[in-house]
Structure 1
Amino acid sequence: MQTITADTIAGAMTYQEYKDLADRLFAQGKTTGENQSQAYIDYTRIAIQRMRKWDKIAKVSERMVEKVKKLPPQIWLIITEAWCGDAGQNIPYIYKLAEFNPNIQVRLILRDENLDIMDAHLTNGARSIPKLVALSPGLQREFFTWGPKPQYLIEKQKAFKNNPDGKSFQEYIEEVHFWYAKDKNQTLEKEMEACFENAFGI
């Protein structure tokens, strides 16, 4: 928690700046982070496409809009990288959610440039992204965290790693993204609602 400072927030990107960075790097045949392989550049292209799609079609339920409007002022700091498939699927909805409350400030930082912050917010010991950290405006309190993906997919990933059962990694990834397309952020919405309930009783 002490790793996140006022300088962290001041130097963080807006969602638009993050998207612009991803677009700019991809146009140069690059991506964010240390891994500049062709595979990661391809992942970046797909993540950019998914962000554009969800920016257009992601829907927030009326029930959730009312809950978000009741939230106290806070900063939503998202740890991410442009190549991250789960980031492409989840960040657009999180940002759309925050837009309903002018007292929520969304900022994004890159994982590989902020490993001290990442290492304070591991998932099952791994530097999994995206990770959302909700903070009080003065950074004295961490209200809640979410990420790197809906719990169903965390369990699915764990099961695949333990026993692929003849399935290739590519087949597994395709199943994950098919699930995202079918789920339409509904599970993410429920999990965010649970975060609000636990942190604020809302």
Structure 2
Amino acid sequence: MTATESIIEKSLKNSYSYTEYRNHVSQLLLEGLSTGTTQSEALTHYSTLNEVRMNRLDKTIKIPQDINDTLKNLDKEYTLLVISEGWCGDAAQILPVINKMTEATDRLDLQIVLRDDNPELMDAYLTNGSRSIPKLILLDKETLEPINSWGPRPAEAAKLIVDFKQKHGIINEEAKTELQKWYLHDKGLSTMQEIVGLLG
């Protein structure tokens, strides 16, 4: 077993199902807290906003027929291990989509771990040297061997952020608003297509 596989196995013992994750975040919010080692009013505020977003997406996300057919006909079983935190805006847009995909087939299993509780795993899956989330690690369900990884956001959304930063020099509230509008318009489709592309 490689070092990464050993870290993955350890992280899976620490993981939440989607329902458990949602309940954990909600419970912390009742206590005025967010997930993660850093606590602030801003993070709690974002976590509260994300609760509303995820509740809406759980009700509204629809899987197109072609993607549904692909998911139902997968020839192997996978575990989708996702690194997240309750305050992360991208995770709030993406996790409900991944959850809907796993509900559409018995070939996918979603497990969620918190970034700050699993630093070794996070550091094995950095994006351009940073601990960007959400990060999906695609595992062979039987062997837990990592096959691929994806995240922290779909390619088009990532480009939106890169272009904004090049133009304005910073990522501010305006950038975050533009990103949320993009997610609203996209309805999870890019996330579904890119993840299905990993399932080969």
Structure-1-length-normalised TM-score = 0.90
Query: Which residue of 2 is the match for residue 46 of structure 1?
Result: 49
Query: Which residue of 2 is the match for residue 20 of structure 1?
Result: 23
Matching residue within 61, 67, 71 for 1:64: 67
Query: Which residue of 1 is the match for residue 134 of structure 2?
Result: 130
Contact 1:3 1:117 in 2 (8 A): no
SS at match of 1:127: coil
Does 2:100 match 1:120? no
Report the CA distance between 1:140 and its aligned residue.
Answer: 4.6
Aligned letter for 2:181? F
Does 2:96 match 1:92? yes
Gaps of 5+ in 2: none
Query: Which residue of 2 is the match for residue 77 of structure 1?
Result: 81
Aligned letter for 2:13? A
Query: Which residue of 1 is the match for residue 157 of structure 2?
Result: 153
- Moved beyond 3 Å, runs of 4+: 3-7
SS at match of 2:168: coil
Equivalent-residue separation in structure 2 for 1:48 and 1:107 (angstroms): 19
Does 2:182 match 1:191? no
Report the CA distance between 1:138 and its aligned residue.
Answer: 3.7
Structure 2 counterparts to residues 21-36 of structure 1, below 5 A: 21-36=24-39
Provide closer, same or farther for how the CA distance between residues 139 and 125 of structure 1 changes in structure 2, counting only shifts above 3 A.
farther
Aligned letter for 1:31? S
Aligned letter for 1:110? L
Contact 1:75 1:106 in 2 (8 A): yes
SS at match of 1:177: helix
Structure-2-length-normalised TM-score = 0.91
Provide closer, same or farther for how the CA distance between residues 56 and 94 of structure 1 changes in structure 2, counting only shifts above 3 A.
same
Equivalent-residue separation in structure 2 for 1:137 and 1:192 (angstroms): 16
Deviation larger for 44-53 or 135-144: 135-144
Contact 2:9 2:144 in 1 (8 A): no
Gaps of 5+ in 1: none
SS at match of 2:195: helix
Number of aligned residue pairs: give it: 196
Contact 1:5 1:139 in 2 (8 A): no
Deviation larger for 44-53 or 152-161: 152-161
Cα RMSD between the aligned structures? Answer: 1.7
Q: Cα deviations across residues 127-164 of structure 1 (Å, max 9, x unaligned)?
A: 11011111012445222211111111212222333331
Query: Which residue of 2 is the match for residue 172 of structure 1?
Result: 175
Aligned letter for 1:16? T
